Amino acid sequence: MGKREQPSQNTIVYRLKCVICDKVQDGGVSQKYRISERGRAENFLEAALLLKDDVYIRIADLDTIEKIFGADLYYHGKCLNKYLKK
């Protein structure tokens, strides 16, 4: 179980780990997106609180939408979709 990446304005997104799968690449895809929309952040936080899995452990201190935004969390598109469907 890895820790989440530290927020940084100078970080290259392709080198960051996905907050969900904890990998830089997933199936050869390194493109990631920042959690920056309120609805996405709410759904992500609700799913993590419900599942209480490795993702929850990585973001346990992020208990509000504002903290989710402040942490600069990035995800692979497929990873977030799969996670929210759980």
Amino acid, single-letter form, for residue 83: Y
pLDDT band at 76 (very low <50, low <70, confident <90, very high): very high
> pLDDT tens for residues 34-65?
999 999 999 999 999 999 999 999 999 999 99
Alpha carbon distance 18, 61 (integer Å): 17
- Residues 6+ positions from 36 with CB-CB distance below 8 Å: 69
pLDDT band at 31 (very low <50, low <70, confident <90, very high): very high
pLDDT band at 5 (very low <50, low <70, confident <90, very high): low
pTM of the model: 0.84
